[in-house]
Structure formats: C-alpha cells, structure tokens
C-alpha cells in the first residue's frame, strides 16, 4: 500500500522552580499561560519536526517530535545559604558573622515584634511584598503553617547540622530563613525560629527559601497558574533525538531571551534593598529593571545554578556575593534526600528540581551522584510534600536531550513507581508532574514499551477515560459529558502519542487497551462539537489515532478476514461491487459490524455496509467509516497544522489499506464531501499538511470515482504546489512534499487520459518539464519524469501537446529511466524510491496491496477492466526495460478515455451520485 | 459639450460597474456560543443551480444570499437578499461547495467577515437609469 505514516510527537516538559518566574507569573498569570498556549499551538509556527525513520520492519514512518515545555515553577530553596565565618568557612553560629545585617534585621524584629513589616522593611520591601500579597491572597497561612508550627525545627537544625557536618555549616540557617520569610506578608509570625535565627533572617536571604516552599504548594498553584512557564532555555538544547522545531525553539527563546527562567518577572518591581540591588546588578543580564521578588539569596542561587556565564555551581556565585554564605553543594543536597526529617527531604528535592532546571550538567551530576534512585524511592513516600517534590525533580531531570537520565529513571524502576503514585494520588499537581515526567520519558524510544507495559492501562483508566468524558456504560438520563482539556490529559495524551509510534507491538497494545480508542474518539467528538479543535490535547489525540490507524488493515485481529479478494474478483470500488463481494461470503459471516448510530447509518445506504448486531467498540472504531466524518470535521475546523496533518494522515492511513474497510473509507470520504475539504487544504501554508493531504488524495484515488473527481478538481491545486522555474514554488515546499505531490499526480493520471488532459490544461507540463530537466533533487526529477512519460504514453494527447510546443524529447527524460527500477527488489516497480513513504515492509503485504489497488476498475458501471495482472506486468516490465515499456499496458487508453468521459459528465468534486439531500440554504 | 459628457459617462459607468461588486464588512454577533452573521446562503457547486431563484444564469453555481435577518449584522452592514457572494475574506466563493461556503463564513476565530458581493438589482438599476 502506499504511504502510511506514523506520527509521534515527543513533548518534553520541564519544570523550573524559579522564584523569579513564579513571581512574574503572579503578576500576570493568565498571560503566561496564554503565551505558552500560543507558542505551542500557533498554527503558523510549525512546532514539530518530521523525520523519516525506518523502523525495524522497514516501514517508513515519520517521527514527529514536539518539544513542549510546560514549566511549573516551584522552588523550594531550602538549604540555600550557609553562613561563612570570617575565615571563609561556614560559620557555626549564625549570629556572629552576620554583623551589620544582624543589626538591621534584629531591629526590624525587635521593633515590630512579630511583624516583619517594620518601617525600614516597609520602605525597602513594601512594593514587592505588596504585590506578593496580592497574588497570594490567602494561602500564606496555610502554606506556612507546617513550617511554623514545626516544633521540630529546632531539632531539625540539629539533625540537619549533623547531616551537613561534613561541610561545617549549620543546617538551621537554611531552614530558618524559610520561616522568616513569612514576615513579608505581615501576618506571619515565627516566634521561636525568629528568635533563634533572627540574625540570619535577612529578608532576602533566608526568606527566599520559605517563599519558595510556599509557592510550591499546589493549592496556590491552582488559582494562580503562575507556575506555568516555558522553559525556554532548555528548549534550546533539547533532545537531539527529537529535533527541535526551529521555529518553535526560536519562539521560545525569543520570549525568554533576556529573561531566563527568572526572567519573566520584570514586572518592574524595584527592589531597593541595597544588598539585593547589589546582587541584582550582578545578575543584570537577567534582571534589568525590576527585581520581582524580595528573595535575594534564593533567587541568586537559582540564577547561579543556571547561569549561562558558566557559574554553574550555586556555591561559587553566592560566595562571591557574600562570603558568609554558601549554598550546599550537590552531594550535600542529594544526601539530604535521605535525611530522616521529611521536610528536609522535600526541600532538598525541591531545591534539586530548581537546580536541574535547564541545567543539563547538574542533571548529569545528579545521575552520577546516584541521586535518581533516591528520588524515585521518595515517590513512594507517604507524605505528599515529599513525593510531590521528588516528582518535580524527576520531571526536570527527565527533560532534556540526555537520554541517560531517562534511562537512569527507568533502571531504578521509576516508571512503575510513577504509575503507582498516579494510582494513589488525587493531588492534581502531583498528577500533572507524574504525567509530565512520563511524557518526557516517552520521548526516548527504548522506554516506550516500558511505559506501555507498566502504565498504559493505568494512564487510560486514571486519566484518559475520565477526562475524555467517555463512559463505557452511559447513563441514559445524563447527557454525554464533554472532554476536559486538563494539563493532566494533555500530558498523558502526549505520552501516549509518543509511545504509539513504537512499532506494531505498541500499536497493538494501545488498540487493545480497554477503553482507550473509545475515549479518544469521544474526546475528539467532543472537541468537534464544541469547535475546540486547536488545542494541544486534540492534537495529541488525533496523532494517536493516526498512529493507531497505521497498518490497521494488517495488524488488527482478524484483519485477514476482511482482505479484499483476489484481484480478479475484486472489481468493486463502489457500493454495488462491495455488495457483490458480501454475497460472495467474504463478509457475511463476520462478527457483525454495524453502525452504532442510526443517524450515521443513513449516509451509507448506498455503501451496503454490513449490518452489525452490536456497536463497534475498541479498535474497531478506528476504521469504521464513521471516523471519516470526525476527521473531516477536524480538517475543516482546526487551525492547528499538526492536527490537520495528523487528521489527513489518519485518512491517508485508513484509505491505504487493502481490506474492505479501506474501500468503505475511500467511498465515505467522497460521500461525506471530504474531497473538497482535502483539496482546499492543498492551499495550506504548512508543508506537512500539503504533504499529508496530497498522499491521502493519492490513496483515495484508488477509488475510481475519487480518481475522476480528484483529477478534475484537484489538479489545479496540485500543480500550483509544484515549483516553477523561477521559484521553488510559491510556498517553497520541501522536497518530500514536492515528491508527494508529483506522485499523487502520477497516480491520478494513471489509467486516466482524461486526468492527464486536465494536467495539460492546468499548465502542468511546463512545470514538470522544468523539474525533470533542472531540479536539484533526483527524487523530484525522477517523479516528474514518470509523470511525463505517462502523459506521452497517451497517444491521443500528443496532438495537444505538440500544439503547445512540446515534443517527445520533453517526455522521455534520461534521468527517469533506470533508477526507477530500484523497485525491482519488491514486487513491482511502483514501489520505487520516488514514491515516498511507500510501505516497503513486507513482500507479501506488498503484493497484497498491489493486488488490492483497483486502479483499473470501473466499478458499478460494469465496464471492462484491465486485469490487475496486467498492471502488475506493466510495472514489472517497466522495471526491467525502463520507461518506454511503461506505456505498454496503456494501450487501452483510448477506450478508457471514452469511458472516463462518459463517466465524467455528471462528475463533480462531490459526486452527484453521492449527494444527499442537502439543505438548500443555511444560516450563517 | 459632447466630448466631456461622454467621457463623464465613461467614468461614471466605470465607477458604477465597479460598484456592482460591493464590499461589505459584517461584524458577527455573539449569540450564545455562536457568532452569527444573520443571513442564509444558497447555492454552491454541489447544488442544483436551476433551483436558485436569484441567478440570471441558471447554470450559475455561485453562493447567493437567500435570507437576511431583520436587524441582524448582515442587514446592518447592507447585505441584501439575492446578493451573490464572490469572496469571503479574500477567498473565492464562486467555485465552492455549499458547505465550504458555510464554513468560510462561520470560522469561529473570525469576528469580522469581509464580503465581496455583486448585486443584480444594482446593475439593472444602473443600466436602466443610463438608458432612460
């Protein structure tokens, strides 16, 4: 068969715990979210790359990779600063080294008692604090509580201290500060802590950690989606396996450019504190203007950790800035993951997440320091705070081009652990993190099957089905639910989209996964119903459907029962022929297939679809003609190029099969008036859409009536997509696309001199000759030459051609001949390399598909047809002897032409015979 | 003098013939979940052109305005029953199916629709006035 494409997109997520970011988000959370959406879905911005890969079975497939970054900023900066003594070593006692800071801070505390907002403090911090308060109206209390009330803090520090003894710093500083942060909202009091650590509690420094902590609370995130951000930076360096779409990354980079993770914040909050200012200055490239948060040190730390200038180590940066403090180094942080005190664990994990954000080096280091198994172990931790933070860290670690990190997560059974946690938790944020991590992991080929093995049914049951709105046993009374396009659904569908491209076995597993196909279809129907077809989740669903439709005609159980009969018998392309076949018993005894939906049934009256006693379900839904309408609706409504491509690709896959369902699909596309929809999409600005549509048209034209219609009404658009002499083409299409268009033209004019005439009339010859003579691409040259030879073979057209000034030499291109015979390996020359994406997988299948192509059949009209064997011979011949012989079998053309003409009289792009009573007018 | 008059007529008829094709900009009205234009269309290459009461040429498969809602956005913008829609936001509407035309007009993301229409009545009126 031809052109079955498989798409897989890899979406990678990374979260960054950046204070800056979060603050920025607080400022205009909506906008950030908008931005993300725009970038991802802007149809004008191709977000994926398509590369052809050859799978194990030799099938060509396209792997599309999309790298999407959804970043949630959650920072828990726990162990940020360690005071250093005058000697440069970490101070054992926080108070003494603090010096002047101590004074000022003490003053604040003393004067204001519990309140952090002192006159001074106000003067310097008010602005930021205020906005902070605004954004986080009520949550502070709740957030901080745990810390506040934590009597163990004192002990904590001790324990902590022991942990960190090696480095001579006192853990409590790290934590303490966190507590102190509260003050900024003015309502928080941290009596004990403050007293103890007051000195340390410079608002900027220690505070930061607690702030971050608080931020990471899910409750906060919900109302204020400030956490979403593009991780622009890591985008740039992402997965090599998944080529980043240039545009996409550009866009992201652009948005982030001077504004690395923390960048967004510039909301122009000035930070007046001298110390902070100083730090800000150091970071100037990132933070000109407004410093968003009053969290000096923590911010700084994060800066440092991702600093592009190479100050990779968090500690260096902070030491430089303030010799009394230093960050814990990575081994220390990882050690803290195993600390007996839970908050230490969670803070360490959160800090790790932050450090890893967009920093491949740190991710690698974490791996080398054996941090990943520890994090995975924390996934099973009973405390939500701990497993949430661990999951956040894993999400960032799993993002990036370093697949070793992904493998490391898998090697310590991280995938089953994630799935376990997904089953266990109801916390939406955790679910987002889990599915985001899985999405990241799913972008690496070797992990796809692992995810399927451990998580497919869980992901389907826990996420896909509930969010799709599908109910296996719908309540009669309630109306069908709509899909919810949640982040969790988006992540999960992205993950499944990736794993669905992992070959036949993966497809089989997904098809047979209970409820998956049903739920995806329901979600898509809901999207169409609500005219909400542009979003990412829809894109993911369509891509999964497309992948699952790939080779469906040979991979689903019992597919062989539906195979078209031997060529001699299979004459039908239309309904009546089909019927004949049914009578022949090929179909009758099957498990009943019918339309579940009475209303759909009507449309297939003439198609004689077999009646079903029960509704189609599961994978059967993939190829029921009902789906045609769904895909066509998407093709009509969606503005998302990826979605358009995938929907066209699904039709392409479904119409390619050599079984009866493909025949139905081809006819249904026509009956549902799909041809005009597809032809219109040939005008698309998107290369890949044009390509997918073109290949779909080629497959559809195996149906004779489709071929006539496409020849009459699509030729102009097809030719328009070809490069002309002056320019590559108006759209500058890629070679693959040009070749696809050429092959479609070839298919359309094959056995149809009438269509060949259309080609001449649309001035196609000039372009074809130009391509065959001067294209830089051998594939284009060859494909164009094939067409020209075909045209010349129609003797009845030669007069017209010669009148236009063409002669034989234009049509007998040297370059065309020999390479074409590449196909000799296969059964027919048709499958040569000029025909892109041809399924070259299995010989037997190829012969099967060859047989099934009813190119010469005229269907219901009962005109004589050229036997398939002839066709076969034709191609074989051409293989052996070159182009000249290709004409041979076409001797009948005169005949055929007349036939076609007579057929064509009533033919319109929408076949008159298929027209249903149509509303004469419609309100708009 | 005669010369001036004839050239004036030339200019006038040029202008008028130009105005046979009229640009109409309709701002859609939100009605519930939908954005509506407030008119209905008939015709299309998949329709039987002989049934079109508005076309002169009964083989014309173009898209015609069949009804206009009183007070609706289309009426406000000056669209009239019988107008033939030539373009919608620059897209050709003379060789499209009925459904394609409908889709073009109802793109959800377009709040404003710019039509290029021709109006038989306008042509006739002009011709008649010039004859008399």
Chain B interface test: which of A535, A636, A685, A923 (most B C-beta within 10 Å) = A923
In the structure, what pLDDT confidence band is assigned to residue B128 with cuts at 50, 70 and 90?
Answer: low
Closest approach of A920 to chain B, Cα-based (Å): 5
Identify all chain A residues contacting B40, using CB atoms and an 8 Å cutoff: 921-924
Q: Could you give the CA distance from residue A13 to residue A441 in angstroms, rounded to a whole number? A: 10
pLDDT score for A38: 21
What count of other Cβ atoms lies within 10 Å of the Cβ of residue A613?
A: 8
Question: Which uninterrupted H or E stretch holds A770?
Answer: helix A764-774
Angle of the A342-356 helix axis to the A371-378 helix axis, nearest 10: 130
A214, two tokens: 């608080």
The predicted pLDDT at position B20 comes to 64
Interchain proximity B66–A920, CB inside 8 Å: yes
- Taking contacts as CB-CB distances below 8 angstroms, the residues of chain A near B47 are 918, 920
pLDDT of residue A362: 93
Residue in chain A closest to B33 (alpha carbons) equals: A530
Indicate if the pLDDT at residue A23 is higher than 70: no
DSSP string, A737-757: HHHHHHHHHHHHHTT-HHHHH
Q: Are residues B39 and A923, on separate chains, in Cβ contact within 8 Å? A: yes
Of the pLDDT bands very low, low, confident and very high (cuts 50, 70, 90), residue A648 is very high
What average pLDDT does this structure show over A376-384?
Answer: 94
Interface touch B97/A910, C-beta < 8 Å: yes
Q: Is A38 on the interface with B (CB under 8 A)?
A: no
Phi, psi of A273 (to 5 degrees): -55, 130
The token pair at A769 is: 């000759």
Cβ-Cβ contacts under 8 Å, A919 against chain B? 98
Whether the CA torsion A834, A838, A844, A847 is positive or negative: it is negative
The alpha carbon of residue A712 is apart from the nearest alpha carbon of chain B, in Å, by 13
Mean pLDDT for chain A overall: 62
Res B17: pLDDT: 52
Nearest CA-CA distance, residue B98 and chain A, Å:
8
* C-beta of residue A441 within 8 angstroms of C-beta of residue A447: yes
Question: Inter-chain contact A923–B67, Cβ cutoff 8 Å?
Answer: yes
Alpha-carbon span B26 to B73, nearest angstrom: 6
A830 is written with which tokens?
């048709």
pLDDT in tens, A182-237: 333 333 333 333 333 333 333 333 333 333 333 333 322 222 222 222 232 232 23
| Angle formed by the axes of helices A674-681 and A626-637, nearest 10° | 40
| Residue B42 at interface with chain A, using a CB cutoff of 8 Å | yes
Which range among A542-556, A764-778, A910-924 shows the weakest confidence by mean pLDDT? A910-924
Which is nearest to B50 in space by CA: B40, B61, B41?
Answer: B61
CA distance B39 to chain A (A): 6
Inform me whether the C-beta atom of residue B79 falls under 8 Å from chain A C-beta atoms.
no
Q: Which residue does chain A place closest to B28, by CA atoms? A: A924
Nearest to A14 by CA among A307, A357, A302, A254: A357
Does B55 reach chain A within 8 Å, measured CB to CB?
no
Residue A54: its pLDDT value, please? 30
Nearest to A922 among B40, B45, B109 (CB): B40
pLDDT band, very low/low/confident/very high, at A520 (cuts 50, 70, 90)? very high
- Following CA atoms A312, A313, A315, A317 in sequence, which dihedral angle do they give, to the nearest 10 degrees? -20
Angle between helices A704-713 and A753-761 (to 10 degrees): 10
What does the alpha-carbon distance between residue A837 and residue A28 come to, in Å, rounded to a whole number?
A: 46
Q: Are A239 and A10 in contact (CB under 8 A)?
A: yes
Q: Is the pLDDT of residue A576 over 50?
A: no
Number of residues that make up chain A:
924
Contacts of A888 (CB under 8 A, 6+ apart): A874, A877
Whether B88 contacts chain A with CB within 8 A: no
Give me the pLDDT at residue A323, please.
57
Q: Region A63-71: what's the mean pLDDT?
A: 37
Please answer yes or no on whether B51 and A920 come within 8 Å at the CB atom: yes
Could you tell me which residue, A695 or A659, shows the higher pLDDT?
A695
Q: Residue A924 and residue B39: Cβ atoms within 8 Å?
A: yes
Higher pLDDT, B110 or A399: A399
Q: Is A475 on the interface with B (CB under 8 A)?
A: no
List the single range of A288-292, A737-741, B73-77 with lowest mean pLDDT: A288-292
B-chain residue closest to A533, CA distance: B108
Nearest-CB residue to A531 (from B39, B40, B108): B108
Q: What are phi and psi of B30, to 5 degrees?
A: -80, 125
- The more confident residue out of A884 and A470 is A470
Q: A594 pLDDT exceeds 90?
A: no
pLDDT greater than 50 at residue A120: no
User: How far is the C-alpha of B72 from the C-alpha of A924, rounded, in Å?
Assistant: 11
Instruction: Give the gap in angstroms from C-alpha A639 to the nearest C-alpha of chain B.
Output: 9
For residue A532, what is the nearest residue in chain B, using CA coordinates? B108
Please give the pLDDT value at position A585.
34
Contact B62, B93 (CB under 8 A): yes
Pick from A6-10, A206-210, A511-515, A732-736: least confident: A206-210
Name the residue among B40, B98, B103 with its Cβ closest to that of A923.
B40
Chain A residues with beta carbon closer than 8 angstroms to that of B67:
921, 923
Check CB contact of B128 with chain A, cutoff 8 Å: no
CA distance B41 to chain A (A): 5
- Of B66, B100, B103, nearest to A921 by CB-CB distance is B66
- For residue A500, what pLDDT is reported? 94
The DSSP code for A921 is: E
Q: In 10 A of CB B80, how many CB atoms?
A: 16
| Partner residue opposite A924 with nearest CB, options B41, B47, B96 | B41
Taking residues A514-529, what's their average pLDDT? 94
Q: Which residues pair with A325 in a beta bridge?
A: A83
Burial class (CB in 10 A: 0-12, 13-18, 19+), A59: buried
For residues A583 and A19, what is the distance between their CA atoms, to the nearest angstrom? 71
Q: Which residues of B touch A918 (CB under 8 A)?
A: 46-47, 98-99
Partners of residue B91 in chain A, C-beta under 8 Å: none
Q: Give A413's strand partners.
A: none
Give the model's confidence band at B52: pLDDT under 50 very low, under 70 low, under 90 confident, else very high: confident
d(Cα A846, Cα B17) in Å, to the nearest integer? 60
Contacts of A676 in chain B (CB under 8 A): 96-97, 99-100
pLDDT digits (tens, 9 = 90+) for A870-907: 333 333 333 333 332 222 222 233 333 333 333 333 33
Distance from CA of A910 to the nearest CA of B (A): 6
Query: Strand locations in chain B, DSSP E?
Result: 21-27, 29-31, 34-36, 39-43, 63-68, 84-88, 91-92, 112-118
CA distances from A855 to A654, A657, A755, A824, A876 (A): 17, 14, 13, 20, 16
| Cα dist from B18 to A252, A418, B23, B116, whole Å | 47, 68, 10, 11
Contact with chain B for residue A388, Cβ under 8 A: no
DSSP labels for A230-261? --HHHHHT--SSSPPPHHHHHHHHHHHTT--T
Q: What chain A residue is nearest to B64 in terms of C-alpha separation?
A: A921
Instruction: Measure Cα distances from A102 to A197, A198, B83 in Å.
Output: 10, 7, 82
**Between A396 and A127, whose confidence is greater?**
A396
pLDDT (0 to 100) of residue A244: 33
ipTM, two decimals: 0.79
Contact B59/A at CB under 8 A:
no
How many whole angstroms separate alpha carbon A134 and alpha carbon A12? Answer: 32
CA–CA min distance A484, chain B (Å) = 17
**What one-character-per-residue DSSP string does A464-524 give?**
IHHHHT--SS--SSSPPPPP---HHHHHHHHHHHHHTTSHHHHHHHHHHSTTHHHHHHHHH
Kindly list the residues from chain A whose CB atom is less than 8 angstroms away from the CB atom of residue B35.
none
Position B7 scores a pLDDT of: 66
Provide the pLDDT confidence category of residue A444 given band limits of 50, 70 and 90.
very high
Q: Which residues of A touch B37 (CB under 8 A)?
A: 924
Any CB–CB contact under 8 A between B100 and chain A?
Answer: yes
Q: Could you tell me the pLDDT band of residue A763, with boundaries at 50, 70 and 90?
A: confident
Contact at CB, A910 and B66, closer than 8 angstroms: no
Question: Within an 8 Å CB–CB cutoff, is residue B41 touching chain A?
Answer: yes
Span A277-308, pLDDT tens digits: 444 344 333 333 333 333 222 333 333 333 33
Closest CA to A352 of A369, A334, A338: A334
Nearest CA in chain B to A636: B103
Give pLDDT, residue A559. Answer: 78
Residue A163 structure tokens: 């942990």
Query: Using CA atoms, how far apart are residues A301 and A551, in angstroms rounded to an integer?
Result: 52
Higher pLDDT, B1 or A36: B1
Across the interface, which of B40, B51, B100 has its CB nearest the CB of A680?
A: B100
Is B24 an 8 Å CB contact of chain A?
Answer: no
Sign of CA dihedral B13, B15, B20, B21: positive
Nearest to A921 among B40, B97, B100 (CB): B40
When the pLDDT of each residue in chain B is averaged and rounded to a whole number, the result is: 81
pLDDT digits (tens, 9 = 90+) for A785-828: 989 988 988 888 888 888 888 888 888 755 444 433 333 333 33
Q: Is A921 on the interface with B (CB under 8 A)?
A: yes
Q: What is the pTM of this model?
A: 0.54
Inspect the interface and report whether the beta carbons of B46 and A909 lie closer than 8 Å.
Answer: yes
Q: Does the beta-carbon distance from A921 to B41 stay under 8 Å?
A: yes
Nearest-Cα distance to chain B for A53, in Å, is: 36
A352, A338 Cβ separation under 8 angstroms: no
């Amino acid at each position: 068969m031809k052109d079955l494409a498989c798409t897989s997109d890899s979406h990678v997520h990374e979260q960054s715990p950046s204070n800056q970011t979060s603050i920025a988000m607080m400022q205009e959370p909506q906008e950030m979210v908008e931005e993300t959406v725009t970038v991802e879905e802007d149809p004008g911005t191709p977000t994926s790359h398509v590369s052809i890969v050859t799978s194990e079975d030799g099938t060509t497939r396209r792997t599309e990779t999309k790298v999407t970054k959804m970043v949630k900023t959650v920072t828990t900066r726990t162990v940020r600063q360690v005071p250093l003594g005058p000697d440069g070593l970490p101070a054992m006692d926080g108070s003494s080294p603090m010096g002047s800071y101590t004074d000022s801070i003490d003053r604040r505390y003393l004067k204001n008692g519990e309140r952090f907002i002192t006159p001074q403090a106000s003067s310097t911090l008010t602005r930021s604090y205020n906005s902070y308060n605004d954004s986080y109206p009520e949550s502070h209390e709740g957030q901080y509580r745990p810390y506040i009330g934590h009597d163990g803090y004192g002990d904590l520090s001790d324990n902590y201290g022991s942990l960190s003894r090696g480095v001579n710093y006192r853990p409590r500083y790290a934590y303490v500060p966190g507590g102190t942060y509260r003050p900024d909202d003015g309502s928080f009091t941290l009596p004990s802590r403050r007293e103890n650590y007051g000195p340390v509690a410079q608002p900027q420094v220690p505070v930061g950690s607690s702030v971050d902590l608080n931020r990471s609370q899910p409750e906060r995130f919900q109302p204020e989606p400030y956490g979403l951000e593009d991780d622009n930076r890591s985008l740039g360096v992402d997965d090599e396996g998944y080529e980043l779409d240039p545009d996409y990354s550009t866009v992201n980079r652009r948005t982030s450019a001077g504004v690395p993770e923390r960048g967004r914040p510039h909301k122009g909050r000035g930070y007046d504190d001298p110390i902070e200012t100083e730090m800000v200055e150091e970071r100037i490239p990132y933070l000109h203007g407004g410093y968003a948060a009053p969290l000096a040190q923590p911010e700084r730390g994060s800066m440092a950790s991702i600093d592009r200038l190479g100050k990779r180590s968090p500690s260096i940066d902070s030491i430089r800035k303030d010799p009394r403090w230093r960050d814990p180094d990575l081994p220390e942080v990882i050690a803290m993951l195993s600390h007996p005190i839970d908050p230490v664990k969670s803070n360490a994990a959160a800090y790790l997440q932050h450090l890893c954000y967009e920093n491949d080096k740190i991710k690698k280091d974490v791996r080398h320091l054996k941090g990943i198994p520890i994090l995975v172990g924390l996934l099973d931790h009973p405390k939500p705070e701990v497993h949430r933070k661990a999951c956040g860290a894993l999400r960032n670690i799993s993002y990036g081009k370093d697949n070793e990190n992904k493998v490391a997560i898998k090697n310590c059974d991280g995938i089953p652990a994630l799935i376990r946690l997904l089953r266990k938790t109801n916390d939406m944020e955790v679910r987002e993190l889990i599915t985001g991590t899985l999405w990241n992991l799913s972008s690496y080929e070797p992990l796809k099957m692992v995810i399927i093995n451990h998580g497919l049914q869980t992901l389907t049951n826990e996420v896909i089905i509930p969010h799709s709105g599908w109910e296996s046993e719908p309540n009669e009374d309630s109306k069908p639910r709509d899909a919810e396009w949640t982040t969790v659904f988006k992540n999960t569908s992205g993950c499944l989209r990736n794993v669905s491209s992992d070959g036949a076995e993966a497809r089989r597993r997904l098809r047979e996964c209970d409820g998956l196909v049903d739920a995806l279809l329901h979600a898509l129907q809901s999207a169409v119903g609500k005219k909400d077809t542009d979003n990412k989740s829809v894109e993911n669903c369509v891509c999964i459907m497309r992948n699952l439709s790939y080779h469906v005609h040979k991979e689903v159980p019992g597919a062989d029962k539906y195979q078209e009969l031997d060529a001699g018998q299979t004459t039908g392309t239309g309904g009546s022929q089909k019927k004949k076949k049914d009578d022949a018993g090929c179909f009758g005894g099957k498990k009943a297939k019918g339309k579940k939906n009475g209303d759909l049934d009507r449309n297939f009256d003439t198609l004689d679809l077999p009646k079903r006693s029960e509704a189609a379900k599961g994978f059967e839904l993939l190829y029921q003609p009902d789906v045609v309408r769904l895909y066509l609706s998407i093709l009509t409504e969606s503005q998302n190029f990826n979605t358009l491509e995938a929907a066209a690709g699904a039709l392409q896959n479904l119409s390619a099969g050599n079984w009866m369902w493909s025949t139905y699909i081809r006819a249904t596309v026509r009956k549902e008036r799909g041809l005009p929809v597809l032809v219109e999409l040939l005008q698309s600005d998107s290369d890949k859409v044009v390509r997918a549509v073109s290949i779909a048209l080629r497959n559809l034209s195996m149906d004779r009536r489709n071929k006539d219609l496409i020849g009459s009404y699509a030729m102009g658009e097809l030719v328009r997509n070809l490069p002309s002499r002056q320019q590559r083409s108006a759209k500058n299409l890629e070679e693959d696309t040009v070749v696809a268009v050429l092959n479609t033209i070839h298919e359309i004019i094959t056995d149809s001199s009438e269509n060949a005439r259309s080609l001449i009339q649309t001035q196609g010859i000039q372009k074809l000759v130009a391509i065959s003579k001067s294209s830089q691409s051998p594939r284009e040259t060859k494909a164009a030459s094939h067409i020209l030879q075909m045209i010349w073979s129609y003797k009845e057209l030669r007069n017209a051609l010669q009148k236009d000034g063409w002669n034989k030499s234009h049509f007998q291109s040297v370059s065309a001949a020999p390479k074409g015979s590449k196909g000799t390996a296969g059964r027919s020359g048709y499958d040569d390399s000029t025909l892109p994406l041809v399924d070259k997988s299995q010989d037997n299948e190829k012969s099967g598909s060859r047989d099934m192509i009813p190119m010469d059949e005229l269907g219901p009209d009962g005109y004589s047809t050229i036997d398939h064997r002839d066709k076969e011979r034709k191609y074989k011949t051409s293989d052996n002897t070159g182009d000249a012989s290709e004409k041979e079998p076409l001797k009948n053309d005169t005949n055929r032409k007349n036939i076609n003409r007579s057929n064509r009289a009533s033919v319109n792009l929408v076949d008159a015979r298929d027209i249903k009573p149509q509303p004469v007018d419609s309100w708009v | 003098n005669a010369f001036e008059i004839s050239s004036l007529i030339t200019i006038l008829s040029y202008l008028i013939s130009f105005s046979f094709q009229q640009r109409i900009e309709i701002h859609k009205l939100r009605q519930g979940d939908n954005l509506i234009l407030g008119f209905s269309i008939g015709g299309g290459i998949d329709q039987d052109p002989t049934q079109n009461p508005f076309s002169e040429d009964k083989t014309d498969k173009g898209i015609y305005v069949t009804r206009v809602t009183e007070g609706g956005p289309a009426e406000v913008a000056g669209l009239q029953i019988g107008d033939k829609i030539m373009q919608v936001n620059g897209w050709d509407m003379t060789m499209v199916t009925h459904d394609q035309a409908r889709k073009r007009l109802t793109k959800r993301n377009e709040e404003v629709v710019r039509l290029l229409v021709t109006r038989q009545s306008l042509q006739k009126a002009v011709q008649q006035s010039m004859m008399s």
